Amino acid sequence: MTQTRLSRRHILAGATIGAATAPFASLTSAPARVRAPLGETDRPSHRRFKLGEFDVTMINDGAIALEDPQSIFGTNASKEEFEAQARANFLPTDKLQISFTPVIINTGTELVLFDTGNGDARMPDAGHLIHHTLKAAGYTPDQVDKVVLTHYHPDHIGGLMTGGNPAFPNASYVAAASEHDFWSAPERMSGGTERVAKLTESNVKPLADKMTFVKDGDDVATGIRAMSAHGHTPGHTAYSIESAGKRIIVAGDFANQPALSIARPEWQVKFDMDKEGAVATRKKMLDMLATDRIPFTSYHMPFPAVGYIDKRADGSYQYVPVSYQLDV
């Protein structure tokens, strides 16, 4: 029988290997558990920055996921074109996330809210402006002095009323005259316009005695001016905000997806009522934003929905999300 004699060197080497592999052995026998629980997906409630002497606060009213994105953005593009564009921008080809971002401007003399979100949690993951995100941003509905509407689609006027009462009890209201006249006309109460017309009836008309109607170039408040951006709806309006030499455009729904409706402005969008008019407005606005190198907000962009436009040498447009430019 052969006996193996272990030297002191063998014993020490074995102990060293055992100590080194012990932690890995424990991983296979009993997985470690973190003390903190796994969390749910969360989103910031708001993003605030200075614009000259104004405060600008982007309010997160939630987001929803939609199937079949080409049925919304790129309805006149081929399936192959659309999928290639989506993949080039690391986007899924079968789903699309849409955010909702009202904007609050504190001018120092007035608190001005642009658009009111979906209202009373109209969707499972959106519509929390009144009861949650406004408060999280440090404001209350009674502090809002003026509500300005870019247009009358439900995700913009849905938050005007809550429980049958005005959600912003001390506010006055501003909208484009052409937008109001279109959706208020009796003939809109049937057919394809019925849904929005009925919401206009319930949410906008009760506020008529507090409303002011504007057109392109009209001043809404100190430093805030209306800019026609028709096409998405008949009276869709953007607003130029300026203070102490700084400027930003609250652009509503003129272009709402960076890789699709900005990178490919000629692609038609399902919710644009005048498809060709919306394309022309999109290109005009993008040219202006790129030339003037000013930031803009767009309602459905990924939160915080603020960025710049770069026009490349080949004539295409690129969305540049804001990072720290507005904080320095």
> Could you tell me the sign of the dihedral formed by the alpha carbons of 301, 303, 305, 307, in that order?
negative
Kind and range of the H or E element at 165?
strand 165-166
% pLDDT > 70, the chain: 90
Mean of the pLDDT values across residues 21-33?
58
Flag whether pLDDT at 205 surpasses 80. Answer: yes
If one compares 81 and 4, the residue with the highest pLDDT of the two is 81
What the block records as the tokens of 28 is 């296979």
Find tokens 């029988």 and name the residue: 1
Flag whether pLDDT at 157 surpasses 60. Answer: yes
| Distance (Å, whole) CA 138 – CA 30 | 47
* Burial environment of residue 167 by CB neighbours within 10 A (0 to 12, 13 to 18, 19 or more): buried
Mean of the pLDDT values across residues 28-37?
75
| Distance (Å, whole) CA 207 – CA 39 | 42
pLDDT category, 30, cuts 50, 70, 90? low
Question: Which CATH code is given to the segment(s) 46-327?
Answer: 3.60.15.10
Flag whether pLDDT at 6 surpasses 90. Answer: no
pLDDT category, 40, cuts 50, 70, 90? confident
- The pLDDT of residue 29 is 60
If one compares 25 and 200, the residue with the highest pLDDT of the two is 200
Secondary structure of residue 213 in the 3-state scheme: strand
- The pLDDT of residue 85 is 96
Flag whether pLDDT at 264 surpasses 90. Answer: yes
The mean pLDDT value of the chain amounts to 90
Mean of the pLDDT values across residues 151-157?
96
| Distance (Å, whole) CA 240 – CA 112 | 13
Among 22-36, 219-233, 263-277, whose mean pLDDT is lowest?
Answer: 22-36
Secondary structure of residue 326 in the 3-state scheme: helix
Flag whether pLDDT at 172 surpasses 60. Answer: yes
pTM equals 0.88
Find tokens 């501003």 and name the residue: 174
User: What size, in residues, is the chain?
Assistant: 328
Find tokens 């900005």 and name the residue: 262
β-pair partners for 237:
228
| Distance (Å, whole) CA 172 – CA 207 | 8
| Distance (Å, whole) CA 68 – CA 82 | 11
Domain boundaries, the chain: 46-327
| Distance (Å, whole) CA 277 – CA 272 | 9
Flag whether pLDDT at 195 surpasses 50. Answer: yes
Q: 92-104: per-residue pLDDT in tens?
A: 999 999 999 999 9
| Distance (Å, whole) CA 31 – CA 144 | 53
Q: 241-250: per-residue pLDDT in tens?
A: 999 999 999 9
| Distance (Å, whole) CA 288 – CA 49 | 23
pLDDT category, 232, cuts 50, 70, 90? very high
pLDDT category, 11, cuts 50, 70, 90? very low
Flag whether pLDDT at 105 surpasses 70. Answer: yes
Among 15-29, 166-180, 254-268, 275-289, whose mean pLDDT is lowest?
Answer: 15-29
β-pair partners for 106:
55, 111
pLDDT category, 120, cuts 50, 70, 90? confident
Q: Return the closest-CA partner of residue 116 out of 136, 139, 142, 134.
A: 134
| Distance (Å, whole) CA 87 – CA 81 | 10
Mean of the pLDDT values across residues 16-24?
50
- The pLDDT of residue 28 is 55
- The pLDDT of residue 124 is 67
β-pair partners for 238:
227
Mean of the pLDDT values across residues 23-29?
52
Flag whether pLDDT at 2 surpasses 80. Answer: no
